[in-house]
Amino acid sequence: MMDLSTYLKERSELVDGFLKIRIGVGAISRVDEAMAYSALAGGKRLRPILLMAAADAVGGKGTDFLPLASALEMIHTYSLIHDDLPEMDNDDYRRGRLTNHKVFGQAMAVLAGDGLLTQAFEVMTEQKGVDPALMVEIIHLIARCAGPEGMVGGQALDINAEEKHLEPAEMKQLHEAKTGALFIAAIRSGALLGGGSKDEVNALTKFATFFGLAFQITDDILDVEGDSKIMGKMAGMDEKMHKSTYVSLFTLEGAKAMALDTLKKAELTLEPFGERAEPLLAIARHLYNRNK
């Protein structure tokens, strides 16, 4: 049985090492310092690890795709910087330290996010050993999942939903875009890069959908039950912002039952992959147990 903590540590260190070397190359202003402040602040590195694990699951070598994987972390970090701004979620802490705008000011925080998003696509093109046609497909997928059809569109829905009661279908659409889309980008990209068959890519994309839903449900649970010091961000923000969550719609116990049911569905999608998908399975189970 694999040691998940060691696996996550080794993979996250690869991403950290890449980002430390890459961010700030050719710096001409303080924006690079602001970018590095948030990008190198730690974090789970979940999206790049999922990309690499998905490539491994179809018989590839995930660590060969470190630039593409790390670019996903840059996109994710940009979204966090912008989410934390006063005009958005207005958070003071992220990853256990002051949010970017609290240190560098709002204007520089906006630019740091812009810089990470833009540079992420530059970094993707530096990936070696990938067929150009596949690279175009991957970049198109990531751009779509990160843009107005995905993460950005979901964030817009989230802003419009403040002070409103969402129906379950509306909340599902919101979180599939805001949270789930980038998980699909990571896992589907990894499956494609690893040389997965059409059936394998589709199965892992289905897993990504369940994974994203389970992640959001447990995130809502943690916002109620979590420890701010452990999470590195303030708990109770959903209630403070008067947001509809899986907890507010289905109760705390109902949300926990939904999370478990979603985890079981995710597990079923991985059965055809056997031991190759053990890291993905372990990460999904760890995700569920993080609320306990």
pLDDT along the chain (292 residues), means of 10: 91 97 92 97 95 98 98 98 94 94 98 98 97 98 98 93 85 92 98 98 98 93 72 52 81 93 96 96 89 48
Q: What pLDDT sits at residue 263?
A: 94
Neighbours of 183 (CB within 10 A): 27
| HSE, side-chain direction, 13 A CA sphere, residue 266 | 28
Per-residue pLDDT at 84? 96
| Residues 166 and 30: beta-carbon distance below 8 Å | no
Tokens of 89: 């979620």
CA distance 192 to 150: 19
| pLDDT at residue 231 in the model | 46
The number of residues making up the chain comes to 292
pTM over 0.85: yes
CA distance 54 to 202: 12
256 token code pair: 């926990």
Q: Which domains does the chain have, with CATH numbers?
A: 2-287 (1.10.600.10)
Q: What is the DSSP letter of 186?
A: H
Compute the Cα dihedral for 210, 212, 216, 221 and give only its sign. positive
pLDDT at 226: 62
